[in-house]
Amino acid sequence: MAISKRLRFEILRRDNHACRYCGAAAPEVKLTVDHVIPEALGGTTTPDNLTAACVDCNAGKSSVPPDAPLVDDVRADAARWSSAMRQAADVMQEQREPANNYALEFYTAWTRWTFADGEFVPLEADWPPTLRKFHDLGLPFSAVQEAVDITMATKHIPIDKLWRYFCAVCRNALHRQQELAQHILNGQEAASHGA
């Protein structure tokens, strides 16, 4: 079975772009991804049976028996990699949770506003990633709430432009925040040079 480009990349990354047989590393040698237990002997095309190998080692090796130490090393590496990937996914989820909550708070603030007929003010489809981005850039939620209020209080904006107007108000708030941060840094630098 052919090894996908993605799987090949993951195996080379797991093995630090070095041959597991001789230790030679890219770019000094051309690397391939080798079946530790050949497919002809029942080996699978799964991470626990794949390893980085330089072209010379791959061409010169004979079939490795399933009880070879390298097979155990590759399986241990694959298990460690799998565990690390699960842990990384958990960390990423934990990091996303505050941004997701921030976006939900925005949604609550936005949907407080309705038209006279009770219809909600429309939102663009890209609102969740936009709000997560504002969160990641450090825009305090109070600025987002203020931007919602400013947007809804502005009467001359067409309905289909409200979202863009809201985003512009948020970007202006971010710009003011960045200017203030620069002012703070300049003051700290001046104070440290004067000390």
Task: Write the pLDDT tens digit of every residue in 42-74.
Answer: 778 888 888 888 888 887 765 555 556 666 676
Q: What angle do CA 100, 101, 104 make, to 5 degrees?
A: 90
Higher pLDDT, residue 31 or 67: 31
The whole-angstrom separation of Cα 107 and Cα 138 is 18
Residue 161, domain member (yes or no): yes
Q: Which pLDDT band holds residue 37 (cuts at 50, 70, 90)? A: confident
- Is there a single domain that holds both residue 61 and residue 106? no
- Is there a single domain that holds both residue 21 and residue 103? no
Residue 54 φ/ψ, nearest 5 degrees: -70, 160
Q: How confident is the prediction for the chain on average, in pLDDT?
A: 86
Residue 57's pLDDT is what?
83
- Short-list 20, 25, 24, CA closest to 69: 20
pTM for this model (two decimals): 0.54
The maximal CA–CA distance of the chain, rounded, in angstroms, is 79
- Is there a single domain that holds both residue 102 and residue 163? yes
Query: What is the pLDDT averaged over residues 163-174?
Result: 96
Tokens read off for 76: 């241990």
Residue 169's pLDDT is what?
97
Residue 87, domain member (yes or no): no
Residue 85, domain member (yes or no): no
What domain count does the chain have?
2
The whole-angstrom separation of Cα 76 and Cα 85 is 14
- Is there a single domain that holds both residue 62 and residue 9? yes
Place of tokens 């203020």: 146
Max mean pLDDT range (79-83, 135-139, 144-148): 144-148
Cα dihedral 48, 52, 58, 62 sign? negative
Domain holding 124, by residue range, is 96-194
- Short-list 31, 38, 94, CA closest to 57: 31
Q: What percent of the chain has pLDDT over 70?
A: 90
- Is there a single domain that holds both residue 51 and residue 107? no
Q: Model confidence over 99-131: pLDDT tens digits? A: 999 999 999 999 999 888 888 889 999 999 999
- Is there a single domain that holds both residue 116 and residue 187? yes
Last residue within a domain, chosen from 44, 66, 88: 66
Amino acid identity for residue 51 in this structure: T
Domain CATH number, residue 23: 1.10.30.50
